[in-house]
Chains A and B, each alone.
Chain A
């Protein structure tokens, strides 16, 4: 009897670990900023960027100008395009929801070269387990009007 219940417990615990659920869609929150170093004593954030102040505290820039912010529903197993500006676009593909609430998601940022003859390239390609409410940011490799483009994404709770 005890051995049986022990076995059931082990199987149940093991089964629960790898379980992945797939809801219809998640809402992806995206904030894109142009970050520059202008020699300010205090960091400057454009209006509406307060939510990312702590998330970018480790970056070396002192000025953050808003490029775009959006909240976009992204269905599972489908690539959803979230435009940033003329040059850059974010593409997200939610893959699965883990039993601990995290979302496994593919994300890439595509850059359209100024020379139309050249092929678009992905500046960032990633697969990540995103905890809803926690932020993931993409830095480096993205020029934007004399500054650096920084893209911060999170999944809404």
Chain B
């Protein structure tokens, strides 16, 4: 599109803005480009006015319209905020209690195992070891008495 430096002024003049109205009008009368541009602006304005359609609610639409408003005005369903708060506080207390128990009680022992608490012998010079043997049918603890070569009995 061919442009003229007066086109911004033509736009302002078209929108009734403060500008040098006489000189713009004089220029438009002499400039074919601005004359065409002004005509295009008029055409655009008429088109926009024709397309403008004010929204109206017809009588047949009114009940549905009011129904929508009423639905939005209805009170929201009862919220169970208090119950959830209580549940979350209880859960937090439970977690804290279990954590404290684990801290104070230490690591839970392996209750599946047989535990030899003490093992001794009265055989002179002998030593005792405790061994655990893990087999497919479970662990077996062994108390070994190691006797020196010399017969002691």
Contacts and interface: CB of A to CB of B under 8 A. Distances in A.
A140 B146 contact: yes
Interface string A115-146: 00010011111111111011111111111000
Interface residues of A, number: 44
A2 B89 contact: yes
A142 to B, nearest CB: 8
A45 to B, nearest CB: 15
Given A9-B97, A13-B101, A124 B118 contact: no
Contact of B90 (A2, A113, A134): A2
B93 interface: yes
Contacts of B139: 134
A113 B111 contact: no
Given A125-B120, A126-B118, A140-B145, A131 B96 contact: no
B144 A128 contact: no
Given A100-B111, A141-B145, A125 B135 contact: no
Interface in B95-153: 96-97, 100-101, 104-105, 111-123, 126, 128, 131, 133, 135-147, 153
Interface in B58-115: 89-90, 93-94, 96-97, 100-101, 104-105, 111-115
Contacts of B118: 125-127
Contacts of B141: 128, 134-137
Interface size class of B (residues with CB under 8 A): 35 or more
Nearest to A58: B133
A126 B89 CA distance: 49
Given A129-B117, A143-B153, 16 more contacts: A6-B93, A10-B97, A54-B137, A58-B142, A102-B115, A123-B122, A124-B121, A125-B118, A126-B120, A128-B115, A128-B141, A133-B138, A134-B141, A135-B138, A136-B143, A141-B121
B124 to A, nearest CB: 9
A111 B137 CA distance: 31
